[in-house]
Amino acid sequence: MRISQEYFDELKGQKITAYTLINNNGMEVTSLDFGCIITKLVVPDRDGVLENVVLGFDTIDEYVTRSPYFGAIVGRFAGRIKNAEFTLNNEIYQLVQNDNSNHLHGGLKGFDKVMWETNVVENEDSASLVFSYLSMDGEEGYPGNLLMKVTYTLNNDNELIISYNGKSDQDTLLNMTNHTYFNLSGHVKRNIFNHQLILKSNTFLELDEKYIPTGKILEVNGTPFDFQIGRKIVDGVNSNHPQNILVGNGYDHPFLLNENNNNEILVMDSESGRKLTIETDQPAVVLYTSNQLPDSFSIRGIQSEKYLGLCLETQGLPDSIHHPHFPSSILKKEEVYCSVTKYKFSVY
């Protein structure tokens, strides 16, 4: 195992560092202390060719001005909160509106846009980056001083493990995820149409015209949302299902997971032979197929366009505070928020 660090860029006089974890198989994970952004993730194809399988940029200006959360940690709350407000302990909290009248992914300056303190931990068979950030009471409208730690661990089994740990001095909302856009073709050689997804989920959330959950939990059976035995992403792109059309011809939906920590999410690219297996303790995963990715910039020399990346955001359910039948995302005062998601790369 090796860890390297180098100057990445500068933002408002503050130096941003890129840290790279490298295992004995040549797998690399590069992340920044700005937003905990995973900017590169290099894994082998079936022929052993090492290529980057995530979307990212090479300058901080691109991340600040153009990035749709490429590779970033999202918080305090992943997903949307209706009308950017919620009631907790009989008190109304007004959040920042950054998605029309709604609140999205923690606000205008969520966890994806702040500097994190970074510590490096090296072991014989693994290496970790431990990111820490103190989110102050009232930040983006949320109550409580929240101490957040996010740990990226790479081991020699080609597993990237993301661990989340949070503690607040007041009751608050907390729903964390990582917003990496995967493209297993390597170096974005192709779009994700032919990526095959297997998902252990028989229900998903219905969305309204503003992408807010209506509260209805829908069955996947007989729809393009049924990934239980595998389905290509292009099925949702070409679908006439109202929910596929609603989000721009594709997917941007929370799926409730039937199982945890048991190969519940698999993505495969037959041409490269790469396979990604995701296991989590979270109740849901949001599948987003970059239907809204604009064509107004380039991604490391590749023209941006829809369907270049696949997000699998393991998390609690969006807008859960307004739906009592959803799993709660309330973090009680002095209780510890803990969550772990594992990403294992292999070939077939």
Residues forming the active site = 179, 313
Q: What is the CA radius of gyration of the chain?
A: 19
* Burial of 162 per CB tally in 10 Å (0-12, 13-18, 19+): buried
Helical residues (DSSP H) of the chain, grouped into ranges: 60-65, 234-237, 242-246
Q: Which of 310, 238, 236 is nearest to 267 (CA)?
A: 310
CA angle 80, 208, 65 (to 5 degrees): 40
What is the C-alpha to C-alpha distance for residues 8 and 116, in angstroms, rounded to an integer? 14
CB neighbours of residue 138 within 10 Å: 11
Fill in the DSSP letter of residue 64: H
Closest to 54 (Cα-Cα) out of 332, 313, 309:
309
| DSSP states of 115-183 | B-EEEEEE-SSEEEEEEEEEEPTTGGG--S-EEEEEEEEEETTSEEEEEEEEEESS-EE-B-EE--EE-
